[in-house]
Amino acid sequence: MPNTAPATTPTTATSKRGRPGYDQQSVLRIAVDVFNVHGYEATSMGILAANLGISKSAIYHHVPSKEELLRLALEEAMGGLEEVLRESGATSGPADARLEFVLRGTIAVLVEKLPFVTLLLRLRGNTQMERDALARRRAFDRTITTLVSAAQQDGTLRTDIEPGTITRLLFGTINSIVEWYKPGGALTGAKLADDVISMSFQGLRR
């Protein structure tokens, strides 16, 4: 993916710094929930403070700005997705197996980091930070398209559908999960991945 500057992983000292009852990660998780309800742009520091139950000035003990909260949130989402592409299951073996591995990994990241991925998928590209994240998303999609094309060339996937179309259809299905999936219910993340792979590959394999 066209990478933005690597995110700085908070040190233990940084993650523990702040007001009693919160650390940076807990502030971030609540902020992401609020962003998803109100929209990032419409969320003021006052709204964040009200949801956190602390003053606006207290938020600055954890992060320097609202923009930093967005950066951390997007890195949770995109960093998790990009990590899937670096795993051995995504880099070695038959193309169709690599494609399945990446799709399963993508669903696992979505389930584990559902609020963060939801925020990523709702970006409008109104700031440079958002545009950078969207560029990384597009690069991720291009990697999937390359895998689809390789599987077609191997003879394991049907060739009458363009690789880019297959990628869009696959991720149209996967990305819709954020709108209805409820973690902790009867449908586990693993079963969800099984169902998506079964449905998708049944129509793709030759």
For the stretch 141-183, pLDDT in tens is 999 999 999 999 999 999 999 999 999 999 999 999 999 999 8
Per-residue confidence (pLDDT) for residue 118, from 0 to 100: 97
Return the CA Rg of the chain: 19
Q: What is the CATH number of domain 12-64?
A: 1.10.10.60
| Res 122 pLDDT > 60 | yes
- Summarised one tens digit per residue, pLDDT across range 45-63 is 999 999 999 988 889 889 9
Q: Give residue limits of the domains in the chain.
A: 12-64, 71-202
Mean pLDDT throughout 89-96? 96
Rounded to whole angstroms, the Cα distance separating 100 from 95 reads 9
Tokens of 29: 């998780």
Query: Which residue do the tokens 């992060």 mark?
Result: 63
Q: Which stretch, 123-127, 139-143, 182-186, has highest mean pLDDT? A: 139-143
Residue type, 201: F
- Summarised one tens digit per residue, pLDDT across range 17-33 is 444 468 889 999 999 99
Q: What is the CATH number of domain 71-202?
A: 1.10.357.10
Tokens of 114: 């559902």
Per-residue confidence (pLDDT) for residue 7, from 0 to 100: 40
- Summarised one tens digit per residue, pLDDT across range 2-20 is 444 444 434 333 333 444 4
Q: Is 198 exposed, middle or buried (0-12, 13-18, 19+ CB in 10 A)?
A: exposed
**Closest listed residue to residue 144, CA positions, set 188, 177, 191, 107:** 107
Per-residue confidence (pLDDT) for residue 206, from 0 to 100: 66
